[in-house]
Amino acid sequence: MDSYSLPNDPEQVIEADRAHVWHHLVQHKPFETIDPRIIVEGKGLRLWDIKGKEHIDAVAGGVWTVNVGYGRERIGKAIADQVTKMCFFGGTMGTIPAATFAEMLTAKMPGLDRVYYANSGSEANEKAFKMVRQISQKHYGGKKHKILYRDRDYHGTTIAALSAGGQDDRNAHYGPFAPGFVRVPHCLEYRSQDGSTGEAYGEKSAQMIEDVILAEGPDTIGALCLEPITAGGGIIVPPEGYWPRVQEICRKYDILLHIDEVVCGFGRTGTWFGYQHFGIEPDFVTMAKGVASGYAAISCCVTSNRVFEMFKDDTDKMSYFRDISTFGGCTGGPAAAIENMKIIEEEDLVANSAAMGDHLMGRLSELMDKHAWIGDIRGKGLFAGAELVRDRDTKEPIDEKYTAAIVADCMAQGVIIGGTNRSVPGFNNTLLFAPALIATKDDLDQVVAAVDKAIGRVL
């Protein structure tokens, strides 16, 4: 049998990429004069590009996805074995890996019982939105159809997901958006809207959600969709006092709580799921990136039986969830997810994320002592951010070109970090760190040393 082979002449690949690939989130004009970067191999936290340069990846595949690190042969083998035996059948029928992974997953999520398979985080979120809309029509006569989302949160790239998007720069060109999505204020203590801090700020932020509910009319609100820790909006860990009030408000007004774990799931924040830090009981949990660590495209919308039962009524022809996702029937996704979950368990990566997260925060705090440009550091587990300001007293955000220059300087040093580059006034500029959960102290020290150098050179 012929083995899998690809062109290996770097110039040929670079030219094919330059001529035909439209990269995500990238302005292509500079590629007229500089080469696009092509990644060819990964092992652990390390990547090698087509020119042979080695990089430490401190953002797990750029978008916080490769939780178990690169080069896991057993995941590749599981996918190959499964798809060779049975690659696909649309989700109307079950498959062995889909049933097995659903059982393993729900065992980690007490109170949640049902797994709806899809392909991307955006899609998983849309499944939950559609379930809320259908519940509204069937059980509330079309009332309770509105979905609340939070300023600075992000739930995906499709038009409905962007309609629930709290990052205005991402939405800027793509309106008009879907009706029935209503924004509530963020809960970033560093940018406290009224100067309150700590638990008082947490309770105040939750109160602002209740204010919106009362203004809209509680009988119009079906769900509240939140990231447990806001990711791309600047690594926002809600303060004490926030989540208990949020849960209470949802119960008080019979509002379904949808937690978007697309980033925070699978150990990223030092617990299996981000919401598990806060003792809350969601009705929907959506997840994508860490489900199979990027080895296969798979996402899940996990619900409680309470939600599931609302779709079971065989006296009503239209009561079932009238939805499909073709590639939610791929078997490679759950096969990869099973091995991914076993690796996280066997190597105790959730605990490593918590312990190494503490180390990372310690090193960032030293960096903050050294550089007054760092106004705030935030994070949980191997998920951290350092917000850059022009002035610590006024908290005026630094010009985004400096954030980009620091990220580029690190890249030149062979260290890949992330950065939020917000052109919308008032948006913070934050350096982002989310390496694979196998990261060691030594890896993290190398990353922080590169950032230290970069800040020294750029600012």
Q: What are the residues binding ligand PLP (CB under 6 A)?
A: 63, 120-122, 125, 154-157, 227, 231-232, 260, 262-263, 288
Least distance to ligand PLP, CB of residue 230, Å: 8
| Separation between Cα atoms, residue 411 and residue 56, nearest integer Å | 9
3-state secondary structure the chain: CCCCCCCCCHHHHHHHHHHHCCCCCCCCHHHHCCCCCCEEEEEECEEEECCCCEEEECCHHHHHCCCCCECCHHHHHHHHHHHHHCCECCCCCCCHHHHHHHHHHHHCCCCCCEEEEECCHHHHHHHHHHHHHHHHHHHCCCCCCEEEEECCCCCCCCHHHHHCCCCHHHHCCCCCCCCCEEEECCCCHHHCCCCCCHHHHHHHHHHHHHHHHHHHCHHHEEEEEECCCECCCCCECCCCCHHHHHHHHHHHCCCEEEEECCCCCCCCCCCCCHHHHCCCCCCEEEECHHHCCCCCCCEEEEECHHHHHCCCCCCCCCCCCCCCCHHHHECHHHHHHHHHHHHHHHCCHHHHHHHHHHHHHHHHHHHHHHCCCEEEEEECCCCEEEEEEEECCCCEECCHHHHHHHHHHHHHCCEECEEECCCCCCCCEEEEECCCCCCCHHHHHHHHHHHHHHHHHHC
Least distance to ligand PLP, CB of residue 21, Å: 18
Least distance to ligand PLP, CB of residue 231, Å: 5
Least distance to ligand PLP, CB of residue 261, Å: 8
| Separation between Cα atoms, residue 391 and residue 403, nearest integer Å | 15
Name which of 223 and 389 has its Cβ closer to ligand PLP.
223
Least distance to ligand PLP, CB of residue 339, Å: 20
Least distance to ligand PLP, CB of residue 128, Å: 11
Least distance to ligand PLP, CB of residue 125, Å: 6
Name which of 164 and 455 has its Cβ closer to ligand PLP.
164
Name which of 125 and 428 has its Cβ closer to ligand PLP.
125
Name which of 98 and 231 has its Cβ closer to ligand PLP.
231
Name which of 131 and 231 has its Cβ closer to ligand PLP.
231
Name which of 102 and 287 has its Cβ closer to ligand PLP.
287
Name which of 100 and 157 has its Cβ closer to ligand PLP.
157
Instruction: Name the residue whose CB lies closest to ligand PLP.
Output: 121
Least distance to ligand PLP, CB of residue 136, Å: 22
Name which of 260 and 409 has its Cβ closer to ligand PLP.
260
Name which of 232 and 375 has its Cβ closer to ligand PLP.
232
Least distance to ligand PLP, CB of residue 187, Å: 15
